[in-house]
A and B are shown apart, each in its own frame.
Chain A
Amino acid sequence: MTTDGTGAATRPPFASEPGASDPDGGRIDRWSRRSATVPFRVKVALVWVVIFAGLAFLFWAADFDNDWIRENIWFIARGLVFTLLMAALGIVLAVLLALVGALGRLSRNPIAYGISGFYTSFFRGTPLIVQLFLFYLAMPQTARNLFDRFPNFLPQNFADFFTWTSFQVGVLVLGLNYGAYMTEIFRAGIQSVSHGQSEAADALGMTYRQKMRRVVLPQAFRVIIPPTGNEFIAMMKDTALVSILGSALESMELFRRAQLVGNADVRPLEALVTAAGLYWALTAIFTFFQSRLERRVSRGYVRAAAPTGRRGKERGKVIATGTGGSERGAPAGYVLDAPDIPIAGHPHAGGLDEPAVGVPTLPPEQEEP
């Protein structure tokens, strides 16, 4: 701590220090000790309750029309079907493209390598919203121009074939865009499988396809699935961008519906809040399922039976003891998780002395053999 005169003068004495006479120091120490008995999760829950109470007050004070929300929420929520459908189809396309793209990036074939390189470069290098307009507006226009130039070589319905609805364009562009990003995820996942695995498959006499399907990809998927789940959740939110293309009522996703009724009734704020809440609920549900899936795919990598559902509890415990306020040697991995506000300013409060960089600790399920 500080050694200069002023620093020492303002520093509250430690409770254990002989001759600690400042009554304030003792009070803070009692605070932190009592705080340590409350489980971390309870504290976090309390924080959430306070935030929600604050928001509720805000809505009440801002004269939010709750009746309007009640009347229109189901109309808006019907858009979830299209949001989900678009994201589901989009992620399927993205996974396929990412798989092919990653195999291309890892290939020694110059054609495969070149094409996948161009693909990832373009779709990662341009904004999603630009890609949406390109495919929605520029693609049919290009097809029409092409048809005008080569009417004898192209089929009659050539231009129609490239005129897609906003839903179709949404699926295509989200798939292409996310597939480009996920190519890197897949490539890293495939490369994370040790070379020895590939050699063992070769030595058995497997073909490239057999090796990939039976040995490499199943192991790579363990690494690939968690971030793919994240991409899916992110994609569900990016479906909102597709709303700017406009669409017919029967295929409108959530945000477009919210805008429609919100503008019609001059209740834009209520509509926005409803949309946000629905997106949030949707992603929260999928985040929950994703964490369960993550646990499942680690099968075969755990020496003991999988410790399902125990991690959270243990984490809470460690933190409860680690933030007692007088433990300098708390494990580095938990520094981030120690926001014990009541003892802020106490020289021994963990997390103030050190910059809050959490050393990411590997969850027990993920340990390599």
Chain B
Amino acid sequence: MTPRPNGAPVVKVEGLHKSFGDLEVLRGIDMEVGAGQVVVIFGRSGSGKSTLLRCVNFLEDPTAGTIEVSGIRLEGGHRTHHKREQIRTLRTHCGMVFQQFNLFPHMSALRNVMEGPVTVKGLEERQARAIATEVLARVGLEDKAEEYPIRLSGGQQQRVAIARALAMEPDVMLFDEPTSALDPELIGEVLAVMTSLATEMHMTMMVVTHEMGFAREVADRMAFFHEGLILEEGTPQEIFESTKYPETRRFLDAVL
């Protein structure tokens, strides 16, 4: 969880291609995310931004290209037994937050957060409980530890999901449209937690979102996805104030 000095890259994506049958969703993506950096990925739906995120932790197998996370370097294509093992190691370095939260409904909030440390890392109950309590406090839900997900609001569920990812002490957090399934009045609390991760913990983050206010405030860089390619990449200032591309302009005009 501690930020790396001098922003050495945590995530490297090189020549990433991904096809679903005949449909080519990603057509050659190169991207680097340095330690402590927050990259916001935006673009029209279907432009491949979620697919990129899901390729980074191999929820989707890249058709071609290379993914490197925390020094674990993996090629796309067929999964071998050895690669499967490496994918799991890679995943323990990535925290993933889903649009639909995907909390485990049969476990309390605390158990949800403890699950990774206990089952995957093999920590003792006591240690895991301490970590879980700490990260739940970080997302402001220490008093909801014993509640089951169904009794939590959408915003609270998403914050537990963030805590669950944090408990693995990842090197990078991947946010896949984390506020898209939330009622408007609940978006703020989730964005506030994400902002605090970026500004206080200097967490490395890749965020797919349409929340342009969050992007302007927190992002170090923004990448505009268009038809499976990164059309434009730059600081929020560059993107918002001096984009050269009519596609970016049109998209921003539509969501702002």
Contact = CB atoms under 8 A, between A and B. Distances in A.
Given A197-B104, A199-B59, A219-B106, A300 B120 contact: no
B88 A207 contact: yes
Interface stretch (B8-16, B95-103, B248-256): B95-103
Interface stretch (A210-218, A244-252, A286-294, A308-316): A210-218
A206 B120 contact: yes
Contacts of A204: 91-92, 115-116, 119-120, 164, 168
A205 B119 CA distance: 9
A369 interface: yes
A183 B165 CA distance: 34
Given A214-B115, A219-B105, A301-B105, A203 B94 contact: yes
A299 B149 CA distance: 12
Interface residues of B, number: 28
B98 A196 contact: yes
Interface residues of A, number: 23
A197 B100 CA distance: 10
Interface string B51-64: 00000010100000
Contact of A203 (B96, B149, B150): B96
B151 interface: yes
A206 B106 CA distance: 17
Given A210-B119, A369-B149, A205 B102 contact: no
B89 interface: yes
A300 B106 contact: yes
Contacts, number: 69
A219 B149 CA distance: 14
Nearest to B116: A204
Interface in B96-127: 96, 98, 100, 102-107, 115-116, 119-120
Nearest to A213: B119
A321 B151 CA distance: 33
A197 B116 contact: no
B150 A303 contact: yes
Contact of B91 (A202, A222, A301, A369): A202
Interface string A48-91: 00000000000000000000000000000000000000000000
Contact of B148 (A199, A203, A300): A300
Contacts of A222: 106
B89 A205 contact: yes
Contact of B151 (A196, A202, A303): A303
A144 to B, nearest CB: 43
A214 B150 contact: no
| Majority DSSP secondary structure for residues of A touching B | helix
B120 to A, nearest CB: 5
B150 A200 contact: no
Contacts of B107: 300
A206 B98 contact: no
A115 interface: no
A189 to B, nearest CB: 13
Nearest to A214: B119
Interface string B144-155: 000011110000
A6 to B, nearest CB: 57
Contacts of A369: 105, 149-150
Interface in A156-215: 194, 196-197, 199-200, 202-207, 210, 214-215
Interface string B76-92: 00000000000011011
A302 B119 CA distance: 26
Contacts of A210: 119-120
A195 to B, nearest CB: 9
B88 A205 contact: yes
B119 A203 contact: no
Contact of B102 (A199, A300, A301): A199
B104 to A, nearest CB: 6
A210 B117 CA distance: 13
A222 B148 CA distance: 16
B88 to A, nearest CB: 5
B116 A215 contact: no
Contacts of A197: 102, 104
B228 to A, nearest CB: 22
A196 B106 contact: no
Contact of B116 (A205, A219, A303): A205
Nearest to B97: A203
A202 B106 contact: no
A200 B98 contact: yes
Contacts of B151: 303
A225 to B, nearest CB: 13
A203 B91 contact: yes
A302 B106 CA distance: 11
Contacts of B106: 218-219, 222, 299-300
Contacts of B96: 200, 203
Contacts of A203: 57, 59, 91, 94-96, 98, 165
Interface of B: 57, 59, 88-89, 91-92, 94-96, 98, 100, 102-107, 115-116, 119-120, 148-151, 164-165, 168
Given A199-B59, A204-B120, 15 more contacts: A200-B96, A200-B103, A202-B59, A203-B94, A203-B165, A204-B119, A205-B116, A205-B120, A206-B119, A214-B115, A218-B106, A300-B106, A301-B105, A301-B150, A303-B150
5 contacts: A203-B57, A203-B91, A203-B96, A204-B164, A302-B150
Complex A-B, nearest 10 residue pairs according to Cβ-Cβ distance, in ascending order = A203-B96, A200-B102, A205-B92, A205-B91, A196-B102, A204-B116, A369-B150, A300-B148, A205-B120, A205-B88
